[in-house]
Amino acid sequence: MKKTLFLLVVLFSLAARSQSVPRIAVFAPLYLDSAFNDTSGYRYAKNVFPKFINPGLEFYEGVQLALDSMNAAGTPLEVYIYDSRSAKQRLEDQLEKAIHDSVGLIIAHCSSQEVKTLADAGARANIPVINVNMPNDGGVTGNPFYVMLNPTLRTQCEGIYKYVQKYHGLDQVIVFRKKGQLEDRIKNYFEDAGKATRAIPIKMRYVELNDSFTVDELKKYLDTTDQTLCIAGTMDENFGKRMVQQLASLSKTGFKATVMGMPTWDGLPFNRPEYRGVDLVYSTPYYNPKLDKVSAAINNYFKENMFARPSDMVFRGYEVMWRFGSMLQKYGSDLSSNLSTKQYRVFTDYDIQPVISRQNMTLDYFENRRLYFVKWQEGVIKLVN
């Protein structure tokens, strides 16, 4: 396994090798040096699998399944897999090797600290870099080769503001928040959205709470006759869960409230009984009800071969490789000029748009601005918009 992941060049269609076969470098946090020793022996017990390895490995599994599908469809690609958490090779050295190998696309499941290193390498070599997971621009500017699929917090807040305008324009809107720099940024993003809107701005009331806030502290801002939209103005998941739980209990005594959460709430267990009784809405750039044939095939593969259910990161790995691998095959070096194409949709829609610098009105990078809004209602999740 270690040798395979480090050195494997996945080549589809050997007959096409003499032609110009598109090459892709995939960077993922596989932690192989942590999992295996120098003799390729597994460092942990047979029944132990460290959780920190899961996200990168699940992403890789999705990528591999997509490559199998593309192979069956006759799409020739060469794909190089890099362990971005290698203890023997620096990320910079791995990128230099990928560039030397003439890859035409870099796909990365990365950390916030790696964003600028990846983006800068792509800019130097004119290679598109697809940041799959990190909603962080890393300070990147003036880089037409950097693409973020997970929107920034500013974009998320702008999307939330527009959603509230559309669906809760007549409701009382309270933003419950805690003290902190990130919370101040969220407030500023909402206020900027209010200044930029062409519609009637939302009247948002900001209420600061400590981490141990009580039901009574929330109760005085609610009503039994009029609906109140309660926005969680913090990324703190524990704050958010406490807020939802207490508002759910208040709803049982006649108080009317809907909760708007943050994008970090995707995946939290809001189907539990203690959260029921209050409608909960939050935004996410990824929505897959898993009702299509490809999703069913992936579910069946994991059930039959791994006796498990695939995580969302598996589906994301599949989608990104299929979509951007197909685009590279079709557009080649013009991929960056065709990022808005809808041709290779798999599970979700993307709306990849240029981000223009507010200082000098030049292109900084590209960002997916498509947001889905989903609602938890009595333990069941459904798409709202």
Domain boundaries, the chain: 2-150+290-350, 153-284+373-383
Question: If pLDDT is split at 50, 70 and 90, which confidence band does 38 have?
Answer: low
Length of the chain: 385
CB 302 within 8 A of CB 310: yes
| Bridge partner residues of 257 (DSSP) | 228
Instruction: Give the model confidence (pLDDT) of 147-169 as tens digits.
Output: 999 999 999 999 999 999 999 98
Does 2-150+290-350 match 153-284+373-383 in CATH topology? yes
* H/E stretch holding 26: strand 23-28
pLDDT tens column, 222-263? 988 899 999 999 999 999 999 999 999 999 899 999 999 998
Could you tell me the pLDDT band of residue 44, with boundaries at 50, 70 and 90? Answer: low
Q: Give the integer Cα–Cα distance in Å for 288 and 273.
A: 24
Task: Choose between 33 and 229: higher pLDDT.
Answer: 229
The architecture CATH gives domain 153-284+373-383: 3-Layer(aba) Sandwich (3.40)
Asked: is 2-150+290-350 a CATH 3.40.109.10 domain? The reply is: no
pLDDT for residue 52: 76
Q: What share of the chain is helix, strand, coil (3-state, %, to 5)?
A: 40, 20, 40
Q: pLDDT > 90: what percent of the chain?
A: 74
The answer, yes or no, to whether residue 16 has pLDDT greater than 60, is no
Provide the b/e sequence for 344-353 (b: ≥16 CB within 10 Å): eebbbebebe
Chain-wide mean pLDDT for the chain? Answer: 89
Token pair listed for 334: 């013009």
Q: Output the CA–CA distances (angstroms, integers) from residue 50 to 56, 60, 85, 314, in the order listed.
A: 12, 16, 14, 17
Determine the Cα–Cα distance for residues 139 and 143; give it in Å rounded to an integer.
Answer: 11
Residues with Cβ within 8 Å of 175's Cβ and at least 6 positions away in sequence, in order, are: 187, 190, 204, 205, 206, 207, 231, 232, 233
Who contacts 318 (Cβ-Cβ below 8 Å, separation ≥6)? 62, 63, 65, 66, 69, 294, 298, 346
Q: What percent of the chain has pLDDT over 70?
A: 91
What is the reported pLDDT for 240? 94
pLDDT at site 48 = 54
The per-residue pLDDT for 5 is: 39
Provide the pLDDT for residue 208.
97
Comparing 12-16, 33-37, 46-50, 378-382, the range with the smallest average pLDDT is 12-16
pLDDT tens, position by position, 309-355: 999 999 999 999 999 999 999 999 999 999 999 999 999 999 999 99
Side-chain-side CA neighbours of residue 306 (13 Å): 11
Give residue 372's pLDDT: 96
Tell me 170's DSSP state: T
pLDDT interval class at 37 (50, 70, 90)? low
The mean pLDDT value for 361-370 works out to 95
**pTM for the full model?**
0.89
